Every structure is written in C-alpha cells, then in structure tokens.
Structure 1
C-alpha cells in the first residue's frame, strides 16, 4: 500500500519543473535524450517516460513508447545507445554497437506502468508485440545456469557474462510482461516468462560466480547493492538485511547515495532508486529523509543535476539528465501515491 495519502501532488513535491524539462527535451519522434541534443539509451528513455506518465503527460509518454516500437529490431532488441555515435545509432563514438538485454527488456516495465497510470487497454494491446519481442530477445540469452547474458554485438555474437543490476532489471521486466500477458489473456507467454524469471532470480540469489566473470567486479557500484531489492529479487528480511549491510559503504549522510563506493560523488538517480528500495521494505521514514536531501541538487529552475562531487564541492558532471527527473518522480510516487502506479516497485507481482 502507498505510505501517504494520494492527495499529495507533484507540485507539493516541487517536481513540475523536472517533468516540464523531460517533455521539453523530448524529440518530435518521441525519443527522450539524456539532455538537449544529447545521446539516449532505451532504459533511461523508459524511466523518463514513466515520469511523464505519473505526471499525466499521457500523449508525450505514448510517443515515447511508440518510438521504441518504431526502432525495435526484428529480433526484439534495441541498440544500447542512440545519438552521438560514429554512425547514426548503436554506440557512443569509439564503442562497438551492441544490443543489451536489460535495456531492451525494460520497455515491459514502462508499458505496464503506463497502463497502470491510465487504464488504457488499447495502448496495452498496441504495445504488446513490442513487449513480447523485447522479452523474447532477453530470454533467448538466458544461460542454463539462470543468468541472462549481458549483450549481443552488431555481428550477433553474445557477450557471455552477466551483470547483477542488469539481470535484476530483467527480473522486474519479466514480472511486468507477465502482468501484461495476464490482462490480455496470453497465458502461455505469462507462464514462460515466470519460469524464466524464477530461474533468473535463483541465479541472482544463489550463484554469484555467474556474474562479473570476464570483467572487473561491479560490486563497487551502488546499483549492485540495492537493485536486487528494488526489482523484487530479494524481499522481506533478506532485503532489509542487504540494504542495512550497505549503508556505511554507499550512503553519505545529508547528501545522498554514492554512485560508486570509492568515489566522492553522490547521484540523484541512484539515491531515488535507493529511496524506492527502502519504501519497498517498509522503511518509509528513512526513505523520505534521504529523498528530502536531494532537492539541494537542483538548479534555479528546479531541475535536478546528475549529482554532487562533495570533495570538490561542485555539481559533477555538469549535466541535468532527463532520467534523473524521471527517477525523482518515481520515488515521490512510491512515497506518496501520486498515481495509480505508485506501488509498482513496492508491491511485488507473482511473489
């Protein structure tokens, strides 16, 4: 259940400027770049669209999901990044183009979220093929040991390693896809995705050796700490214990959550996702306290900076990402029930 009366509004939190900024940066084709004339990626694009949905900017949100449907590849995947590339799309300059499983699959969470906000069944039906194919792309890369491989190169080669945070995101995407399938009557797809999700959850909880096998461990990143809680892989007492174990390492009192444990930098988006994770385990008071710290990291318009480098005492990097505003809106929704989708991350589907 929501923790605070639904009478609390977006304006009460001072979040209208953040949503206005997302809508202002959105391109005419529906894509939401990170900032004006900047690059974009499908995961953060969806997070921005979710902020639009909470705010009732339904037409803008719908255009964001239509963009995904328009650019989705035949195999269900999406390029990891769009814009600021050597070519038209696919990678930042100097990087190899690739399609990442978690970034492609996350459209399922966004579509389910928009449906919860609007009750628009026609939207759900129209986006069903996009969701179906995106999840098929991710599921096809699941290893026999349960983890989902990270990415597919432009040549079709699979990067046979896995990320904790990325797989946790896929776990949430599979639950959202199953919920969509339930509404639309696709029971076979629902059952298949829930089976995949069960195997994936078991890998995240019990097979740490299946992650970060071919690159340096990502455990220094805060997302590895709280994403299994945020996405519902861990619930109840195990989830509370995991969060408690990381506070000394990642939380900077009065400032927010570090992006990386060994760097003097707090980021608004990770802090907001930690807030939602705390709300999911019943720690609403602590979640609200951390959330209220974050409004010191806005510009004169009320738009959030990426984060704050507290040794140098400066905003760094000097960008105002759209997806940071989206994360802030989702955190307020989890705390205050701003929309009918406020329980998306705090009430668990199929658990």
Structure 2
C-alpha cells in the first residue's frame, strides 16, 4: 500500500494522492508528461513529473514515462529540447536536460527496488551521461547545449544547469555502481564540477534575475552547510514574498509554485525544514480543487499567470512534501547528493 506524503496543517495524504492523480491525468498515451495537456514536453520536466508519479504509487504510469524517454532517445544519447504531441519543435541539445534522466531512474529504483527496471534503463542512462561528458570544459563547467544538426557546442556555462548536472552525475555514478559498471571519468567530472561551482563561480554566466540561479547550487548539492546557508541569505529578501511564495524573477510581482517548492527542497537539504514547510504552505493559494496547481500568481493584481495548471508545478509540490515528510524511500534524492566523490564514496 502506498504511503502518501503529508505535511501536518499544510497538506494531507489524500490531497497528495489527488495531486498525483492530476499529474497522471496529463500524461499522453505515448507516456510523455507535457507541461499541460496539448503543450510542450521537455526531457527535464518530463522526468520531474515522472518522479512525482513514483512517489504517489503510480508505478505503471512512471514506467511508461521512462519508456517514453528510452524510445525517444537519439543515437547520440540526446533528446530534443522540445516536442509537442510527438512532433519535434526544437531538435537541439540541452546538456542538463539530457543528464537529468539519471536522477529520475535512480529515484524510481530507490522507490521500487526493481532491478529489472534499472537494468533496462541502464543503457539509456549510460548513453545520455556519456554524451553529457563531452560538454564539460577544461575548467570543469559544462557547456549548456549544442546544435544537434552540426554538432557545434554553445560555450556558455549556466549555473542552474550545471548545479543540476552535479546531482545528475552523482545519481549516474550510483547507478553505475549498482549495475557493476563504475566509471572513473564520471567521478572525476563530478569532482571538477563541484570544485568549479564552489570555488570559481566567475567561470559561469553571471547569475540572472531568475531565482533558480540563486538556489540551484544548494538544490543540486554542490553547496551545503554554512556556505549554503550564507548563499541563501544573501538574496532571500529579493525573492521570498512572505505568505505568497518565491518570485520567479527578482523584480516582478510574480510568484511561482515550482520555484517555491524547489527552494523548499534546497532548504530541507540544508536542515532548515521549518522554513521549507512555511514556503510550501505559502503557495497553497495555487492549488485547484482537482488537486493540480496553477503555475503562478501576479500578486500585484491577484491574477494567475500563465493561465495554466502545469504538470511540473504539481510534481514539485509532491517532491517537496515527500522530502519534508520523509515518506518515500527516495525522499532524500536532493538531500543526499554527495559533494566530493574523489575523497570517498
């Protein structure tokens, strides 16, 4: 029997079950999990939504999502940046999008313990991470993407994507160890990336006005402890709106559910679970009676924008509730990222 996440006074297990059902209802027959029905599917948000299905016990639906990824993977290990109902709208490569498959596969395995699933998905994970490794620069940072047609890589390295890749490579290394095929190159790449994020932030593109660039080094696991807490404190007042959530962009009166819940996950990883709970509570104004969540709210005029209930926003709420409540066997997927594998695993 599935145990659903719950946060006392904020979310009940029944509400989280309903949110899981809302995510499943958006899944296409192909297994794809689009942003919203009829909308685009990207490889990263698709996996985040699949993770929410696993947490809420919708194992068959989650496996259908991973099968979609396995079928759609191209020979070079990549996926298109954007598809809409099976039609490729952006064929190019985003290195972070490709890497994130490792987080999802490891997460699903932790919940199910299904070794056949892991063995089936391993070639896909290996191919994706092998491709991603080609995007790492000599300074340790990963180029954000490339042109699929020409093979040219875009040299810029973005902090959000790199922080997410840090977590993904850690999960890939865990999978490789589990299937008995460890890869030292991945360990070295993970170490170099962590060192770059912590010690040489200037090699990345300057942090933007988006909140993701602020909290992702903690969410991805490269920053922890006092350094992580100080990092969060520096821009807290720019992004956090008491009682409403987290701004997506620092100068706009627009709070978004996914960013709020991702910050909650980052705070939980730092041990600041009380603040994480407060954040999740603050965006319950985005909850729809059917269990899904609206993407955001322009709080200056009280209007929801964009006018959509996004699959990945509902998924982020589920993942935050799971981490905070310590419910599923994968509740520590963000909290337990290892920082320096060269020292010891």
Task: Give the TM-score normalised by structure 1.
Answer: 0.91
User: 2:248, 2:339 → 1: CA distance?
Assistant: 30
User: 1:296, 1:44 → 2: CA distance?
Assistant: 22
Shift of 1:145: 0.7
Shift of 1:90: 3.9
Map residues 157-306 of structure 1 onto 2, 5 A cutoff: 157-187=152-182, 189=183, 191-212=184-205, 217-306=206-295
Shift of 1:349: 3.0
User: 2:200, 2:153 → 1: CA distance?
Assistant: 20
Report if aligned partners of 1:257, 1:270 keep a CA contact under 8 Å in 2.
Answer: yes
Shift of 1:83: 1.1
Tell me which residue corresponds to 1:119: 113
Instruction: After superposition, give the CA deviation of every residue in 1:83-108 in whole Å (9 maximum; x if it has no partner).
Output: 17xx92042xxxxx311000011000
Tell me which residue corresponds to 1:75: 76
Report if aligned partners of 2:77, 2:127 keep a CA contact under 8 Å in 1.
Answer: yes
Q: CA 1:8 to 1:235, structure 2 compared with 1: closer, same or farther past 3 Å?
A: same
Shift of 1:113: 0.2
Report SS of the residue matched to 1:257: strand
Structure 2: 5+ residue runs without aligned partners?
Answer: 341-345
Report SS of the residue matched to 2:121: helix
Report SS of the residue matched to 1:167: helix
Aligned pair count reads 334
Map residues 114-153 of structure 1 onto 2, 5 A cutoff: 114-153=108-147
| Pairing 1:344–2:333 present | yes
Report if aligned partners of 1:6, 1:336 keep a CA contact under 8 Å in 2.
Answer: no
Report if aligned partners of 2:16, 2:56 keep a CA contact under 8 Å in 1.
Answer: no
Instruction: After superposition, give the CA deviation of every residue in 1:96-130 in whole Å (9 maximum; x if it has no partner).
Output: x3110000110000000000011111100100011
User: 1:13, 1:21 → 2: CA distance?
Assistant: 12
Map residues 44-63 of structure 1 onto 2, 5 A cutoff: 44-63=45-64
RMSD: 1.8
| Pairing 1:28–2:18 present | no
Report SS of the residue matched to 1:319: coil
Q: CA 1:192 to 1:15, structure 2 compared with 1: closer, same or farther past 3 Å?
A: same
Tell me which residue corresponds to 2:343: none
User: 1:171, 1:184 → 2: CA distance?
Assistant: 20
Moved over 6 A (4+): none
User: 1:65, 1:184 → 2: CA distance?
Assistant: 18
Report SS of the residue matched to 1:15: helix
User: 1:119, 1:349 → 2: CA distance?
Assistant: 21
Q: CA 1:201 to 1:343, structure 2 compared with 1: closer, same or farther past 3 Å?
A: same
Tell me which residue corresponds to 1:88: 87
Deviates more, 1:299-308 or 1:32-41: 299-308
Report SS of the residue matched to 1:89: strand
Report SS of the residue matched to 1:182: helix
Report SS of the residue matched to 1:241: helix
Task: Give the TM-score normalised by structure 2.
Answer: 0.93
Tell me which residue corresponds to 1:94: none
Structure 1: 5+ residue runs without aligned partners?
Answer: 92-96
Report SS of the residue matched to 1:261: coil
Deviates more, 1:124-133 or 1:14-23: 14-23
Shift of 1:13: 6.6
User: 1:183, 1:116 → 2: CA distance?
Assistant: 11
Report SS of the residue matched to 2:318: helix
Report if aligned partners of 1:13, 1:332 keep a CA contact under 8 Å in 2.
Answer: no
